[in-house]
Amino acid sequence: MYKVYYTSTNNDSAHAMTFNRNQMTEALGAAQGLRNDGYTFVTIVCENSDQVGKMGVSAVENGKLPDGTDYNWRKRR
């Protein structure tokens, strides 16, 4: 699912439009139309329906990730 959020220019209130996950083109078109019409703070967000579990890593302790696997990433220039 996609949501297009925008702020009305006359009273500074926030609004949203909802699009199905197969309507990305329509969501992009709506956002462009709102920008062209002078609306402000126009943004598109998408919920990742494939997300499973918590986002990110809560901590790396003693070189281990929360699931017990080794964390051995090193920055090399």
Q: What is the pLDDT of residues 2-59, one digit of tens each?
A: 999 999 877 888 999 999 989 999 999 999 999 999 999 999 999 877 776 667 667 7
Residue 34's pLDDT is what?
95
- Is 26 inside a domain boundary? yes
Q: Are 44 and 17 in contact (CB under 8 A)?
A: no
Residue at 65 is within a domain: no
Beta-ladder partners of 15: 6
Q: How many folded domains does the chain comprise? A: 1
Q: Which domain holds residue 39?
A: 2-46
Q: What pLDDT is attached to residue 57?
A: 62
69 is a domain residue: no
Residue 33 domain-assigned (yes or no): yes
pLDDT, tens only, 62-77: 888 878 889 888 888 7
Q: Is residue 40 part of a domain?
A: yes
Q: What secondary structure letter does DSSP report for 5?
A: E
3-state secondary structure 38-63: CCEEEEEEECCCCCCCCCCCCCCECC
Query: Is the residue at 67 inside a domain?
Result: no
pLDDT for residue 3: 96
In a domain, 11, yes or no: yes
